[in-house]
């Protein structure tokens, strides 16, 4: 019996030593992180330590086609000089980040630590930067919403953001102020995964860091005025190009285009970001003679869909695979165009250039063509249109995620159901203009930002009479039932299961849907349908409880952080409130959310939050001492 014990002990010891040796070997081969890395763009491996990535962003005014562009109008090579911004080719001043338009792309690996020094050189304007797509689960103070998570960054000062890039995918960093011009400052935030963690890795051969398509609106100035006329062009990676210029024999136009190089016979992952801006029309994207295999939305993988074009709303991101399967090694246009429903039509083009012939025989190309026969689904769209009823369209309710809905969210009844009807109410104008004003509301409340950041200076607001909810309003609102303006906060218990219904009650003149973005995490879009908001709220609640409101996907709904709400319709979202903090839910268009189409979801309580960072900036009201004149 003693011998058996000795043998068992020896066996266990050998197993432990073997595991320890294996761990030591893995650690030996795994590079340790250095203090900082100026550039973290690299292939991602699951055994690598996260890097600490140091980035510096300088926000300032910059002149388009300025003196640093030399002779760009005549000499095409001068257009690519460092600091030369072209946009639509009209010389004027604009705002830029590191003298780039759009701002520099930040490309890291999953779970890298980002340390970003933001220097604000915009005179007289405070700013904050929001990192769209990143939940900030460990660092709610770094979400970048002025007067909610931090004080605005004053002019000529620097604020340092520190957070973990925990959510992989195609994302966006952007200024968050409510000023349409300043909110046009943005750039890509790409968080890559190790190949073994990437669900769709087998579907593409190349993930080129240069294959990022950033679409944005660009205000067109009135020729007779110094201000904009309210119209906008589309830019692709900071440049505008129309079809006439693209077809021109003039080499200047060809050179000035945004270009993406591909290798014939290879499958290339393309990352599309629609930053939007002041007008916020949906856009369609297509590539001449090519099909698009859509694989991800807002950084989350979806069941692949091969289509001829895709339609997305401002703030959304879509990844697709482009098969370079053309036997003619030429240049093919990539087109971005506002939808016909938008009252301002605009389009812009870029070029897809075939640079190299494949190493395989030409027969391999015809095999690729056989694989990519004309798809039955021609259009993938996140916005609601009449065409969504057609068999060759797939719209948001029918798009499926590769990740199943968690079982605790797949039941009929959630812990908390929030009904958020939003509309626009007419209020008298108190200015010299006689026309009444349209004021946005959520649950009959127009949101206003607090005098101190809710997250970092909550104690300063304890005695404030500006905080409100749907059931508790300040006294000054009693006489203004149609236009109550206060800091609208909804308390949500930590770890509760939440169903949230966004209900478009109308009142504005938009024909396109409103688009809402949630900070602090993603949600499952379990349902979306047009034309339901005409029902009374009592009817909507009853139908939702009884299951007759709309068809819900409780199996594999798409995961997003930005969702279009159908005009006059309802979007139903579900999520688990496991991220404590104050998280803004707002309309995507700056002109709307800055006027009050917002609400704050307060998850958990003060005991659930991490400590306020040391020496974190403070701001708020100040009243000086009383002075007695003698």
| pLDDT score for 471 | 84
Beta strands 379-381 and 393-395 are: parallel
- Could you give the CA distance from residue 620 to residue 463 in angstroms, rounded to a whole number? 14
| pLDDT score for 363 | 38
Q: Tokens 């700013």 appear where?
A: 127
The tokens describing 45, both together, are 């491996």
Greatest CA separation for the chain: 102
Q: What is the torsional sign of CA 42, 46, 51, 55?
A: positive
Helix, strand or coil, per DSSP, at residue 401 = strand
Contact status, residue 269 vs residue 340, Cβ threshold 8 Å: no
Quick check: 172 pLDDT over 50? yes
- Could you give the CA distance from residue 455 to residue 405 in angstroms, rounded to a whole number? 30
Interval 581-596: pLDDT, tens: 999 999 988 778 788 8
Q: Which residue has the higher pLDDT, 48 or 23?
A: 48
Alpha-helix residue ranges (DSSP H) falling in 372-459: none
| pLDDT score for 28 | 42
- Name which CATH class applies to 30-192: mainly beta
What distance lies between CA 604 and its chain's CA centroid?
24
**Which residues 6+ apart lie within 8 Å of 379 measured at CB?**
284, 307, 308, 309, 310, 311, 387, 392, 393, 394
User: Start-end ranges of CATH 2.60.40.420 in the chain?
Assistant: 30-192, 199-221+231-363+377-382, 407-603
| pLDDT score for 507 | 77
| pLDDT score for 513 | 84
Mean pLDDT of 437-456: 91
pLDDT band at 345 (very low <50, low <70, confident <90, very high): confident
Mean pLDDT of 226-246: 71
Mean pLDDT of 247-256: 58
- Could you give the CA distance from residue 410 to residue 468 in angstroms, rounded to a whole number? 32
The string of DSSP letters for 140-180 reads: GGGS--BTTTB--B-TTEEEEEEEE--S-EEEEEEE-SS-T
**Which residue in 516, 281, 315 sits closest to 385, CA to CA?**
281
H or E segment and range at residue 543? helix 537-546
Quick check: 483 pLDDT over 70? no
Comparing 343-357, 537-551, 597-611, the range with the smallest average pLDDT is: 343-357
Structurally, at CATH architecture level, domain 407-603 sits in Sandwich (2.60)
Quick check: 369 pLDDT over 50? no
- Could you give the CA distance from residue 599 to residue 592 in angstroms, rounded to a whole number? 12
| pLDDT score for 318 | 98
Q: Tokens 């079982």 appear where?
A: 407
pTM surpassing 0.75?
A: yes
pLDDT band at 253 (very low <50, low <70, confident <90, very high): low
| pLDDT score for 241 | 80
| pLDDT score for 339 | 85
pLDDT band at 478 (very low <50, low <70, confident <90, very high): low
Comparing 54-63, 143-152, 193-202, 303-312, the range with the smallest average pLDDT is: 54-63
The tokens describing 264, both together, are 């014939």
Report the percentage of the chain scoring pLDDT > 90: 56
Contact status, residue 38 vs residue 186, Cβ threshold 8 Å: no
Alpha-helix residue ranges (DSSP H) falling in 287-394: 363-371
**Which residues 6+ apart lie within 8 Å of 194 measured at CB?**
44, 45, 46, 48, 109, 110
Mean pLDDT of 594-619: 92
Q: Which residue has the higher pLDDT, 535 or 135?
A: 135
Superfamily of domain 199-221+231-363+377-382: Cupredoxins -  blue copper proteins (2.60.40.420)
pLDDT band at 249 (very low <50, low <70, confident <90, very high): low
**Which residue in 280, 279, 281, 318 sits closest to 298, CA to CA?**
318
Quick check: 137 pLDDT over 50? yes
- Could you give the CA distance from residue 576 to residue 409 in angstroms, rounded to a whole number? 8
Quick check: 553 pLDDT over 70? yes
| pLDDT score for 21 | 57
Beta strands 309-312 and 283-287 are: antiparallel
> Could you tell me the strand order of the sheet in which 113-120 lies?
93-97, 52-63, 113-120, 157-164
pLDDT band at 131 (very low <50, low <70, confident <90, very high): very high
Quick check: 479 pLDDT over 60? no
pLDDT band at 15 (very low <50, low <70, confident <90, very high): low
Report the percentage of the chain scoring pLDDT > 70: 81
Interval 388-402: pLDDT, tens: 888 889 999 999 999
Quick check: 420 pLDDT over 80? yes
Q: Which residue has the higher pLDDT, 230 or 587?
A: 587
| pLDDT score for 4 | 52
Looking at the DSSP assignment, which residues form a beta bridge with residue 347?
337
Quick check: 307 pLDDT over 60? yes
């Amino acid at each position: 019996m003693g011998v058996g014990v000795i043998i068992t002990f020896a066996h266990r010891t050998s197993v432990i030593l073997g595991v320890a040796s294996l761990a030591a070997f893995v650690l030996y081969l795994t590079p340790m992180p250095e203090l900082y890395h100026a550039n973290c763009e690299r292939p991602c491996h699951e055994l690598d330590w996260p890097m600490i990535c140091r980035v510096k962003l300088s926000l300032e005014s910059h002149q388009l086609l300025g003196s640093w562009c030399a002779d760009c109008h005549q000499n095409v090579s001068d257009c690519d000089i460092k600091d030369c911004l072209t946009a639509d080719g009209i010389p004027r001043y604009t705002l830029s980040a590191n003298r780039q338009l759009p701002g520099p792309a930040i490309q890291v690996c999953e779970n890298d630590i980002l340390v970003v020094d933001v220097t604000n050189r915009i005179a007289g304007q405070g700013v904050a930067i929001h990192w769209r797509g990143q939940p900030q689960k460990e660092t709610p103070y770094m979400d970048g919403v002025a007067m909610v998570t931090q004080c605005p960054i004053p002019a000529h000062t620097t604020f340092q953001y520190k957070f973990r890039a925990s959510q992989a995918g195609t994302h966006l960093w952007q200024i968050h102020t409510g000023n349409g011009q300043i909110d046009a400052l943005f750039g890509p935030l790409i968080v890559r995964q190790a190949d073994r963690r990437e669900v769709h890795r087998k579907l593409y051969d190349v993930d080129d860091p240069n294959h990022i398509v950033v679409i944005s609106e660009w205000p067109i100035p009135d020729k007779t005025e110094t201000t904009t006329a309210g119209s906008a062009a589309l830019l692709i990676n900071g440049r505008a190009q129309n079809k006439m210029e693209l077809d021109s024999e003039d080499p200047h136009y060809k050179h000035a285009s945004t270009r993406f190089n591909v290798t014939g016979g290879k499958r290339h992952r393309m990352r599309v970001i629609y930053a939007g801006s002041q007008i916020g029309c949906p856009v369609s994207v297509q590539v001449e003679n090519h099909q698009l295999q859509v694989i991800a939305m807002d950084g989350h993988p979806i069941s692949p869909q091969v289509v001829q074009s895709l339609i997305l709303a401002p703030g959304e991101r879509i990844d697709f695979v482009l098969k370079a399967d053309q036997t003619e090694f030429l240049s093919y246009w990539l087109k971005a165009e506002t939808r016909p429903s938008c009252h301002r039509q605009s389009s812009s083009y870029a070029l897809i250039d075939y640079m190299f012939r494949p190493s395989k025989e030409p027969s391999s190309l015809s095999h690729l063509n056989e694989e990519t026969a004309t798809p039955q689904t021609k259009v993938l769209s996140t916005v609601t249109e009449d065409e969504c009823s057609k068999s060759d369209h797939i719209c948001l309710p029918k798009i499926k995620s590769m990740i199943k809905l968690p079982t605790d969210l797949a039941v009929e009844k959630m812990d908390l159901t929030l009904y958020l009807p939003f509309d626009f109410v007419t209020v008298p104008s108190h200015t010299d203009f006689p026309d009444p004003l349209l004021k946005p509301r959520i649950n009959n409340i127009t949101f206003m930002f607090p005098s101190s950041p809710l997250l970092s200076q909550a104690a300063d607001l304890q005695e404030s009479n500006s905080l409100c909810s749907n059931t508790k309003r300040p006294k000054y609102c009693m006489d203004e039932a149609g236009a109550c303006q206060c800091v609208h906060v909804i308390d949500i218990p930590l770890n509760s299961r939440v169903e949230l219904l966004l209900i478009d009650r109308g009142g504005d003149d938009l024909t396109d849907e409103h688009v809402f973005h949630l900070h602090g995490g993603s949600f499952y879009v379990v349902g979306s349908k047009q034309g339901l908001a005409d029902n009374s709220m009592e009817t909507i609640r009853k139908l939702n409880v009884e299951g007759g409101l709309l068809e819900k996907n409780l199996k594999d709904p798409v995961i997003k952080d930005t969702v279009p709400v159908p005009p006059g319709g309802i979007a139903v979202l579900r999520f688990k409130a496991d991220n404590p903090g104050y998280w803004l839910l707002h309309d995507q268009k700056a002109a709307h959310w800055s006027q009050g189409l917002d609400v704050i979801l307060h998850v958990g309580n003060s005991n659930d939050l991490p400590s306020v960072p040391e020496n974190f900036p403070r701001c708020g009201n100040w009243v000086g001492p009383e002075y007695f004149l003698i």
